Structure 1
């Protein structure tokens, strides 16, 4: 059943957010990063003025959303589709900020809005959204970083025990109570300005490799392999 009433959407989002906050509260969270200023539990006080672009695969979106310390300093791109109103409301309840747009319709406008409205905020972005293929990097995140002059922080997440809600092209990973969560921030990527099409593609490939390697290293350290996580999904049409 689709919720269309704004009050009911916000109520459902509030209940979902509070439930997830309680669930994550029961978990043990470990933060890892080569730089303390890029850890997700950094408070980003006056001595840490830099703002980053933080890509996260779509299936792992809940992890940075609920383990990051400063949601009030984050903004995210949310689809204009009516069904995304729930997600937008949830982010706002957490103290975050949303920019409504789509990589399919109004994508150029959404990128322009993010460039104009993201001052002072970290940008949390799902580079394989909105319809996949699963964990395949899109060029938008590189274009944003190049246009804004911001560094990109690759991320990876592991949960010792989780539910997986299967979707048409990816899963949604939900940590189980009392599990262990590991949130890893990798080495920052500095993207040059004024990239050509060839350079844009090259940097997209570099970020893909950085995300894949970071995730594989994390899973290996936890005694798992990426292949154990979820069965493959079909590519988006």
Structure 2
């Protein structure tokens, strides 16, 4: 019951943001609707707004999320936003799931997105899986970085999880890193403009 209530609360807040937040896209031409998409775990909540935008433009996105309980909240929001959640274990992706992910990339309107440093960090250190997927699917790696005019930052969490506030502005930047690999790993951009509204908080998002 608690889980269902929280999912609805998160979704209600997301719908409020859709109506009140202004989103600016920088370099949208860097996203070709057939990419491996990497974002930082701290931006997971706002990425639902980006996925909704991609879905409205005709793109399809499968997002890799943790298989534990936290993944249930993420999956609920992603599916409401028009995405497709693929649950994977932390630290590995079994061969069957990996094969399905790569198979889905044969669709030229399908992208796969993943929190590069998630689900447990360390912060802003990309996992090798993001490069492996780019190499094996021969799809260009697109980095998505967000900045906020006003937000709440949960500073006690490893990722400093960021939640935009209503009537704020979000800047979404796309960066193209070509087809990447573990041997040819690009330096991923960390782009963030810190606002004054940051708090220490604990609770339901842990």
Closer/same/farther in 2, CA of residues 10 and 91 from structure 1, 3 Å limit = farther
**Structure-1 separation of matches of 2:99 and 2:8:** 30
1:85 aligns with 2:79: no
Task: Provide the residue aligned with 1:160 in structure 2.
Answer: 149
Partner deviation per Cα, 1:179-228 (whole Å, 9 max, x = no partner) = 1111011134223xxx6xxxx2x423x2xx2323xx1xx64xxxx69xxx
Closer/same/farther in 2, CA of residues 156 and 109 from structure 1, 3 Å limit = same
Task: Provide the residue aligned with 1:70 in structure 2.
Answer: 54
The structure whose residues are more often helix, as a share, is: 1
Q: How far apart are residue 74 of structure 1 and its match?
A: 1.0
**Structure-1 separation of matches of 2:70 and 2:142:** 29
1:103 aligns with 2:81: no
- SS at the partner of 2:153? strand
Question: Relative CO higher for 1 or 2, CA cutoff 8 Å, sep ≥ 6?
Answer: 2
Gaps of 5+ in 2: 201-206
- Aligned 8 A contact 1:31 1:182 in 2: yes
Q: How far apart are residue 153 of structure 1 and its match?
A: 0.9
The residue correspondences of 1:19-34 to structure 2 (distance < 5 A) are: 19-33=13-27
**Structure-1 separation of matches of 2:168 and 2:16:** 13
Number of aligned residues: 193
Q: How far apart are residue 82 of structure 1 and its match?
A: 2.7
- SS at the partner of 2:158? coil
Closer/same/farther in 2, CA of residues 30 and 176 from structure 1, 3 Å limit = same
The structure whose residues are more often strand, as a share, is: 2
Q: How far apart are residue 70 of structure 1 and its match?
A: 2.5
Partner deviation per Cα, 1:17-41 (whole Å, 9 max, x = no partner) = 23212124212211110x5362xxx
Root mean square deviation, CA, Å: 2.8
**Structure-1 separation of matches of 2:8 and 2:104:** 25
The residue correspondences of 1:182-221 to structure 2 (distance < 5 A) are: 182-191=171-180, 200=182, 202-204=183-185, 206=186, 209-212=187-190, 215=191, 219=193
